[in-house]
Chain A
């Protein structure tokens, strides 16, 4: 199990940040993603492997209006 923005999420082997964004339908282009303490940049979403028990934050910047 991992936590994404404080919500529990089922973990699976080989899971990447991109998998999380796809599963959560996080399509907004201005995101700040951290895996534990580490900032993950956009180019690395598909490569960044998420370990079991990880704390992931996907901060959406404001937009709209």
Chain B
């Protein structure tokens, strides 16, 4: 047992034809000429400092309309209630906007905040930041978790967060020099937008020499962010061995679109040289000891567990297929006979091995793989040889199987263009899957798509659509609105039945679903749609527990899981941790522990490190309460912005059950059995349509019952509003918070 492709992987690795991982098309732009065209709009100085026990006790505020640059205090209340990361981002954003603020208003902010643990170099996965803004897609706060060096370098320059407000009239960049203590806002008319070039040029421009490049990190979007609502942010780091920049993404919710709407091309940081104890923890020894334990565990166990160090998260492609969970053709099906063409052994071969693929220092899980030597076949960079970051599982599922594409090189090219154009791969995957199904069902045709034949598997049309969107042309402009707005756009023109569009458009709150099939797991349906920001799996991934292990038989069991896991996962975003080292490797004796699925030893590691950093001592209960404060605050923030109620937690039926007869037939045995066992009916006496309808009634009803149970467990009213008691108990009963819930609670 173990990795099903393990033997094959070894064989292929032996026969691997190594690509030269330093070979790529060099950018020949004259950096000096670009810089000479910069016009300094504002420069100010600050005193760089290192954090003490994880905090610098100040944030940096920059207004790109007024050019104001100032320090923001980090108060004890902020630390106690909001911890850092996503908590700080939401708190700052709350005070910046009003219920009327739209994503494109100057008041909207982008806040980048690494948590108090961010920047540890001893424990794998400790370099994350969280980015928060009002999303163009959902019109509520979005939080997106991202690696790369920017967050830790910001912290080691002396800031717990960076808060950007306003809108510039011209294209600008912000440069924060944490070595010399200067911040500048510069007009930058000539730099190209696409991230793989822009980050490379700016790293070259702002590093003093070759050795200094590792101290530079660039936040940028790409040309698609100018022409769509789904633009994302790239965070760079310099890969010394490859001699090029690499990119990690804050993908979800269109934050790149907000950046470009502010006319910011890039935010560049030059941090100090990172040292092992730059965070100045209270107890360095415990952090070092805990880190060594996990490094050893990874080295010994990863090869027989998830093989993250070779394949990254793409190790689960064939596993998801085997469990009928891989999204195929807009989440209609869960597996496909051609999955072997995009399975992990392909990525094992295609990605360069034995390189340093950690997206922050000290991450021995090193899952940020790179596929080198890809010669592009389309678009503005046709013929260029490039390095592609990833692909991660979500990219293979989203850009591949969900669009019926089982061609590894095509997936790599889609992945490359998503990154450089600044497009979220998950969002693009679900959007494309939706339009391809619309094409399949005749809702779209060649006339409506400006000539594009959007058939399943047509990767050339997929790429062409992406190039169109990036450049604001053709049907690409429509697609860049996202699934939610497209449904309305199609319905307004009489294209297709609006009810069918609602069923197959995989979005909730305006955000597209990520790439897992939730139809057969009720808990996961809640894990997707009962989230704060929209259906991203980073709150709760419960499919195995629910569907395979049968550990959650009752609504209350599912509700308990939908209480614990979203809070546990929120805690990563408060502190600056990556979730992967928590559960993509597990200790040898994990099976002996109570609740082994929570990986108790790793939970203990995190609590120990939290204590060692801050000099405090917290329990699991304390941890859950820390998260619950921010989680409930975010729910109330959603309500303040016009969402966050029960109606907004509704899920599209495709995520809950079979929409079409073909979907039903593909799992007929399972569905017929459920009609007998769960509904007490006789499928043999029913037509296919009657069976599909019976399932819809049963599944929809179960979802409502789950919603009741989850809200009760979370301390919310049946309408999804946190109760006075819960708000008070959590200590977030600030007057402005109570003011939001008051009208709703007085109705109940």
Contact = CB atoms under 8 A, between A and B. Distances in A.
Interface of A: 5-7, 18, 21, 25-32, 39, 42, 45, 57-65
Contacts of A57: 549
23 contacts: A5-B550, A18-B1, A25-B322, A25-B323, A27-B322, A27-B323, A28-B544, A29-B304, A29-B305, A30-B306, A32-B590, A32-B591, A39-B592, A42-B1, A58-B548, A59-B549, A60-B545, A60-B548, A61-B596, A62-B544, A63-B544, A64-B393, A64-B541
A25 B307 CA distance: 19
Interface in B1-50: 1-4
A27 to B, nearest CB: 5
B357 interface: no
Interface string B550-594: 110100000000000000000000000001000110100011100
B129 to A, nearest CB: 18
A24 to B, nearest CB: 9
Interface stretch (B112-120, B312-320, B719-727): B312-320
Contact of B319 (A18, A27, A32): A27
Contact of B313 (A27, A32, A45, A64): A64
A31 B319 CA distance: 13
B601 interface: no
Contact of A30 (B4, B551, B586): B586
B448 interface: no
Shortest 9 CB-CB contacts between residues of A and residues of B: A60-B544, A32-B591, A65-B537, A27-B322, A6-B550, A27-B4, A25-B322, A64-B541, A29-B2
A45 to B, nearest CB: 6
Contacts of A63: 306, 316, 319, 541, 544, 583-584
Interface in B287-344: 304-307, 313, 316, 318-320, 322-323
B549 A27 contact: no
B538 interface: yes
Contacts of B2: 29, 42
Contacts of A21: 1
B516 interface: yes
Given A5-B550, A6-B550, A59-B551, A65 B3 contact: no
A29 B548 contact: no
A62 B1 contact: no
B393 A61 contact: no
Contacts of A27: 4, 318-319, 322-323
Contact of B599 (A6, A7, A61): A61
**B contact residues, range:** 35 or more
Contacts of A6: 550, 553
Given A63-B316, A63-B583, 19 more contacts: A6-B553, A18-B1, A27-B4, A27-B318, A29-B2, A29-B305, A29-B306, A39-B591, A39-B592, A45-B1, A58-B548, A59-B597, A60-B545, A60-B548, A61-B544, A61-B596, A62-B541, A63-B544, A64-B313
Contacts of A59: 549, 551, 596-597
B596 A62 contact: no
B516 A5 contact: no
A28 B583 CA distance: 13
A23 B748 CA distance: 52
A62 B597 contact: yes
A58 B545 CA distance: 10
A61 B597 contact: yes
Contacts of A30: 305-306, 586
Nearest to B588: A41
Contacts of B584: 63
Interface string B204-245: 000000000000000000000000000000000000000000
B568 to A, nearest CB: 11
Contacts of B545: 60, 62
A62 B516 CA distance: 13
